[in-house]
């Protein structure tokens, strides 16, 4: 008994001795103005990269593997200015640095991000041409990525040449990328700036706690009520870029008695015009999050988002139109009864409901389970000018009507059309001058003429010639995932997740406005039987029908017409990752596997594609199924506390998107021929330097893509091999077996030269090119009823000569020099100078196929000249340009209120530049292209361009309490 008692005393003494000798770093972080504790602040020991987060009381501690000697703690959280605290750690001692303070970041760059990236991505006629990934970068404190997000983004610069489809956006761990395009729909949570400040960003394919990730990185927006700082904020913003005004109010309760917390926000954005004329903006956003901490181990959070957005769109224009009307011109709007009206409105109305369960199974094992439901629609309107009336003559139906293309920039409205002949006559010059004056004095959508055409005397009691059509995508998506985070040992961490998404997407055209008419006849006015057709009379009689089961249907406002089908998609995936941390090296390895399936169900039987199955339009298509997998790994080698080497590598396959899986989903069940999952491999290596005064990163990267696919839609003339005067068609261009290579380097460096002055620089030098000649084929309803040609047309060997052509998507080179000044009296100013070069036009794929060299009979042109051809097909490179931006702000404390403003001026010197563009494929053979490009008065079908905005401003005034 005595012996046991002595052993017990010895054990206690040993434990106390061990505790007394333990090396500990602990402390707390407070708001520099209010003195309140700040939860979820990330504390990093820069020597080892170890991190800890503050709890609800703002406290943190490091108790294992604590490095000795001089150390630097980095203290950071989104919304506050990052600080570094030097400390000295002695063995067996406790370093207590309680009371560290962080100052609120009055620059409020999140607001700048929302207006300059998210909103502008909705503004173009073709989102795919202007989309970028800068929105993913907003949560990063990296020097280069900050430059890319806040300064380079105005030019639609894409880091590493990647777009939104190559990055993942999550909200509370749930993936938000659309299955149709692979891109996140930013408008679904637009206007919620105050609730988007808590974010976690993983660069590239580096280790991520939530999913496998993608090349452009993963950004998780945390929208939990308990994670928001207690207090409220009211703000007003004025701008001239996307919208003209924004009001926003938000409040966060913090943790209340009983374990409850809640957050609410409401905002409105509005404006008759952005920088581009006619771009109406009308958006209302609402947010609510309620969380209940059931006990110390379980918490339940509900998040609801409703971000309705309605805005007018703009489009790419030719150089001729730009020279006449300037970069602010937009042909899509006109005046009606003294008010602006845009023909192409984008309406986004897709609420999100989300329930999240957080379970601390133990102090080292956490399980987060999420379920989300998103529903609603996205509708894009346009003028439908194919309205007709039905006449029956000799027992056969005939359709009279149809109207001229109302686009003010339609080629027959422009001076170049009248001067296209080699030797224009006096009458041609007179007509060109009249067209020029008409375009200069008006040049807008003629709304009054639409009503007049629908109500003209010979059409009384008839159908509308013109109507407003909405192309609608009405989605219902259920998402579920469960995410495990387990600390298996002090230096080993396991992340794993299982994910499930099911989408039902209804796609249809809808009559929005009959423009004074009484109805609209649901037939295709342009459908006609080809002279070479061998189809039966019964089939031919139905060619014009959108739905042969409901022929000659008259539709009213709100009715579906033209096309009507559903898309079903289902994705199941699982992911696992192990992270290891040691004194000199950290490394990770991760893997995933997924199963994706798609199916189209036609609800209309189209006249050109009668029947069921994959060759028809009605009923179910073939079921497309893709099994995908991926593996990634990387390490960080700590040469010293200041010098690090970081390497990441990955190989994975990726299912094609819904958009690129069906060749003409609006009219047929046909799936893309030769469709495969894309193969992607990547590696990047970075040298990182960090000290209390200087931070720098130099990165080299490589990404390779194989088996990519893409679909384009356009009207073209004189296709080879179809005979004289029969080569004009509206086609679907299908590109498969695409290989690309993205290679380059990035540099970011900043130096805190004085306590108030910071110098910074960034650079990106890349080359993004096609590495092979992809396969190309065309489909069209114009081929459907001809027995003498295949249903899919290929030219020559079936490829398009794209090898070594640059992938279009913003400048390949970008450079920045700038400085920031932060005064101790809470005001700041910054100036950056940004230089861009090596941006290229998006080339015509058809013009680089054998169609280019072939005459109507399929033989090579007898006057074909390879030297001239190379000059005609040379990819256009845009001019270099430089943009200067200024940012600044000031804040004051008034009693318990925090008042301030933040302002930015972009493109201070009003530089004119192109952000992108594409070659038209209307004239895609040698003879027609040479003729068009050699016209003395300019081409009729020249490339179309997107032009950058001039000087723009953004001013935000706020009160925080």
Kindly report the number of other CB atoms within 10 A of residue 147's CB atom.
Answer: 28
**SS3 per residue for 169-202:** EEECCEECECCCCCCECHHHHCCCHHHCCCEEEE
The residue count of the chain comes to 961
Which residues make Cβ contacts (< 8 Å) with residue 719, sequence separation at least 6?
727, 728, 729, 731, 778, 793, 851
Which contiguous run of DSSP H or E holds residue 869?
Answer: helix 866-872
Strands (E), 583-728: 585-602, 619-620, 624-638, 643-654, 678-690, 694-716
Q: Taking a C-beta distance cutoff of 8 angstroms, is the pair 129, 918 a contact?
A: yes
In whole angstroms, what is the distance from residue 289 CA to residue 261 CA?
Answer: 8
Which residues make Cβ contacts (< 8 Å) with residue 834, sequence separation at least 6?
147, 151, 152, 814, 815, 816, 882, 883, 884, 885
What does 763-798 look like in DSSP terms, one character per residue? Answer: EEEEEEEE-S--EEEEE-HHHHT-TTS-SSB--TTS
Which residues make Cβ contacts (< 8 Å) with residue 891, sequence separation at least 6?
104, 106, 826, 827, 898, 899, 900, 901
User: Phi/psi of residue 829, each to 5°?
Assistant: -150, 145
Q: Where are the alpha helices (DSSP H) in 494-580?
A: 537-541
What pLDDT is recorded for position 99?
A: 87
Which residues make Cβ contacts (< 8 Å) with residue 898, sequence separation at least 6?
33, 104, 891, 892, 959, 960, 961
In whole angstroms, what is the distance from residue 488 CA to residue 364 CA?
Answer: 8
Strands (E), 240-386: 245-252, 260-271, 281-293, 298-312, 317-318, 333-336, 339-342, 345-349, 352-360, 365-384
In whole angstroms, what is the distance from residue 494 CA to residue 578 CA?
Answer: 5
Please give the average pLDDT of every successive group of 10 residues along the chain, which has 961 residues.
45 42 87 77 84 85 86 83 86 89 66 45 42 54 87 90 93 96 93 91 94 95 93 95 95 93 97 93 97 95 97 95 96 94 97 98 95 97 92 76 90 95 93 96 95 77 89 98 95 97 98 94 78 54 90 95 98 98 94 98 95 92 97 96 95 97 96 96 96 93 98 94 82 97 98 94 98 96 74 93 95 97 92 97 97 92 95 97 96 90 96 95 95 94 95 95 92
Which residues make Cβ contacts (< 8 Å) with residue 283, sequence separation at least 6?
187, 190, 191, 243, 268, 269, 270, 307, 308, 309, 310, 311
What pLDDT is recorded for position 108?
A: 54
Pull the structure tokens for residue 592.
Answer: 């995933």
In whole angstroms, what is the distance from residue 865 CA to residue 104 CA?
Answer: 66
Which contiguous run of DSSP H or E holds residue 6?
Answer: helix 2-20
Q: Taking a C-beta distance cutoff of 8 angstroms, is the pair 188, 176 a contact?
A: yes
Q: Give the strands of the sheet with 218-221, arranged side by side.
A: 174-175, 168-171, 218-221, 199-202
Q: Give the closest residue to 775 by CA, choosing from 711, 831, 819.
A: 711
User: Phi/psi of residue 678, each to 5°?
Assistant: -80, 140
Q: Give the closest residue to 216 by CA, choosing from 146, 145, 152.
A: 145
Region for residue 191 given its phi and psi (left: phi exceeds 0; alpha: psi -120 to 50; beta: otherwise): left
Q: Give the closest residue to 196 by CA, choosing from 261, 245, 263, 132.
A: 263
Which residues make Cβ contacts (< 8 Å) with residue 257, sequence separation at least 6?
none
Q: Give the closest residue to 775 by CA, choosing from 844, 703, 847, 849.
A: 849
Q: Taking a C-beta distance cutoff of 8 angstroms, is the pair 280, 309 a contact?
A: no
What pLDDT is recorded for position 85?
A: 86
Put simply, whether the predicted model's pTM sits higher than 0.75 gets the answer: yes
Terminus-to-terminus CA distance in the chain, angstroms?
64
What does 58-124 look like in DSSP terms, one character per residue? Answer: SEEEE-SSPPPEEEEEEEE-TTB--EEEEEEE-TT-EEEEEEEEE-B-TT-HHHHHIIIIITGGGSS
Residue with token string 């952000």: 915
Tell me the pairing of strands 520-521 and 554-555.
antiparallel
Which sign, positive or negative, has the C-alpha torsion 824, 827, 831, 832? positive
Q: Give the closest residue to 924 by CA, choosing from 855, 847, 864.
A: 847
Pull the structure tokens for residue 46.
Answer: 């820069």
CA-CA distances (angstroms) from residue 279 to 247, 316, 331?
Answer: 19, 14, 11
CA-CA distances (angstroms) from residue 651 to 504, 626, 681, 810?
Answer: 30, 17, 4, 26
In whole angstroms, what is the distance from residue 751 CA to residue 789 CA?
Answer: 66
């Amino acid at each position: 008994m005595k012996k046991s008692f002595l052993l017990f005393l010895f054990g206690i003494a040993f434990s106390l001795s061990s505790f007394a000798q333990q090396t500990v770093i602990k402390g707390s972080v407070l708001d520099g103005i209010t003195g309140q504790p700040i939860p979820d602040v990330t504390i990093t020991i820069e020597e080892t990269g170890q991190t800890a987060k503050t709890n609800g009381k703002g406290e943190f501690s490091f108790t294992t593997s604590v490095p000795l000697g001089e150390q630097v703690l980095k203290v950071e959280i989104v919304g506050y200015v990052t600080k570094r605290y030097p400390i000295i750690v002695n063995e067996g001692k406790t370093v207590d640095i309680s009371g560290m303070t962080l100052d609120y970041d009055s620059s409020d760059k999140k607001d700048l991000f929302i207006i300059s990236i998210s909103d502008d991505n909705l503004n173009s006629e073709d989102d795919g041409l202007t989309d970028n990934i800068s929105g993913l970068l907003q949560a990063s404190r990296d020097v280069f990525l900050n430059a890319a997000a806040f300064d380079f983004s105005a030019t639609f610069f894409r880091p590493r040449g990647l777009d939104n489809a190559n990055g993942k956006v999550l909200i509370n761990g749930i993936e938000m990328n659309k299955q149709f395009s692979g891109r996140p729909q930013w408008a679904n949570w637009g206007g919620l700036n105050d609730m988007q400040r808590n974010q976690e960003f993983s660069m590239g394919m580096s280790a991520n706690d939530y999913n496998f990730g993608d090349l452009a990185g993963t950004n998780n927006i945390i929208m939990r009520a308990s994670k928001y700082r207690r207090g409220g904020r009211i703000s007003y913003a004025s701008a001239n870029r996307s919208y003209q005004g924004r009001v926003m109010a938000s409040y966060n309760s913090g943790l209340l008695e009983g374990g409850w917390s809640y957050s609410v926000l409401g905002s409105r954005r509005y404006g008759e015009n952005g920088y581009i004329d006619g771009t109406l903006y009308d958006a209302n956003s609402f947010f609510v999050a309620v969380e209940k901490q059931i006990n110390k181990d379980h918490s339940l959070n509900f998040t609801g988002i409703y971000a309705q957005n309605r805005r007018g769109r703009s489009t790419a224009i030719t150089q001729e139109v730009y020279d006449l009307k300037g970069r602010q011109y937009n042909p899509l709007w006109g005046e009606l009864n003294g008010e602006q009206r845009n023909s192409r409105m984008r309406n986004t109305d897709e609420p999100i409901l989300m329930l999240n369960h957080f379970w601390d199974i133990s102090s080292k094992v956490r399980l987060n389970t999420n379920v989300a439901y998103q529903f609603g629609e996205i509708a894009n309107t346009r003028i439908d000018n194919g309205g007709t009336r039905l006449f029956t003559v000799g027992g056969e139906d005939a359709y009279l009507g149809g109207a001229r293309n109302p686009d003010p920039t339609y080629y027959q409205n422009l001076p170049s059309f009248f001067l296209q002949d080699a030797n224009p006559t006096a009458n041609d010059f007179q007509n060109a001058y009249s067209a020029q004056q008409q375009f200069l004095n008006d040049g807008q959508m003629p709304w009054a003429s639409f009503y007049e055409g629908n109500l003209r005397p010979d059409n009384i009691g008839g159908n509308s010639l013109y109507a407003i059509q909405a192309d609608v995508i009405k989605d219902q998506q259920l998402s579920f995932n469960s995410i495990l985070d387990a600390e298996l040992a002090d230096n080993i961490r396991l992340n794993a997740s299982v994910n499930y998404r099911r989408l039902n997407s209804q796609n249809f055209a809808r009559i929005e406005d009959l423009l004074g008419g009484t109805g609209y006849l649901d037939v295709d006015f342009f459908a006609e039987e080809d002279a070479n057709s061998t189809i039966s009379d019964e089939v031919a009689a139905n060619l014009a029908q959108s739905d042969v089961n409901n022929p000659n249907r008259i539709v009213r406002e709100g009715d579906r017409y033209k096309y009507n089908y559903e898309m079903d998609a289902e994705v199941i995936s699982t992911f696992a990752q192990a992270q290891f941390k040691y004194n000199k090296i950290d490394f990770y390895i991760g893997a995933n596997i997924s199963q994706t399936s798609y199916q189209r169900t036609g609800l209309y039987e189209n006249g050109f594609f009668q029947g069921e199955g994959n060759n028809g339009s009605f009923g179910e298509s073939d079921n497309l199924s893709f099994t995908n997998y991926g593996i990634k790994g990387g390490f960080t080698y700590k040469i010293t506390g200041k010098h690090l080497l970081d390497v990441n590598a990955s190989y994975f396959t990726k299912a094609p998107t819904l958009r690129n899986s069906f060749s003409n989903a609006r009219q047929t069940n046909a799936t893309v021929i030769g469709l495969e999952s894309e193969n992607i491999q990547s590696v990047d290596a970075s040298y990182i330097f960090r000290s209390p005064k200087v931070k720098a990163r130099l990165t080299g990267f490589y990404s390779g893509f194989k088996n990519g696919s893409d679909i384009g839609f356009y009207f073209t003339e004189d296709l080879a091999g179809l005979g004289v005067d029969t080569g004009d068609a509206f086609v679907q261009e299908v590109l498969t077996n695409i290989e690309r290579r993205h290679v380059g380097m990035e540099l970011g460096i900043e130096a805190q030269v004085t306590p108030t002055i910071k110098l910074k620089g960034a650079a990106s030098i890349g080359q993004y090119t096609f590495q092979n000649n992809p396969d190309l084929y065309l489909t069209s309803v114009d081929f459907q009823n001809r027995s003498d040609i295949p249903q899919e047309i290929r030219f020559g060997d079936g490829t398009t000569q794209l090898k070594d052509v640059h992938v279009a998507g913003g400048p390949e080179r970008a450079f920045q020099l700038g400085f920031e000044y932060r005064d101790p009296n809470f005001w700041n100013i910054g100036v950056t100078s940004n230089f861009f070069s090596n941006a290229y036009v998006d080339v015509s794929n058809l013009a680089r196929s054998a169609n280019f060299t072939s005459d109507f009979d399929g033989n090579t042109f007898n006057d074909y000249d390879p030297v001239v051809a190379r000059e005609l097909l040379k990819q256009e490179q845009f001019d270099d340009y430089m943009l200067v931006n200024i940012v600044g702000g000031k804040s004051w404390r008034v009693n318990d209120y925090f008042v301030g403003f933040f302002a930015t001026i972009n493109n201070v010197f009003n530089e004119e530049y192109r952000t992108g563009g594409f070659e038209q494929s209307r004239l895609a053979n040698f003879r027609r292209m040479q003729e068009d490009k050699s016209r003395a008065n300019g081409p009729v079908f020249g490339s179309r361009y997107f032009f950058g905005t001039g000087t723009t401003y953004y001013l935000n005034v706020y009160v925080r309490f």
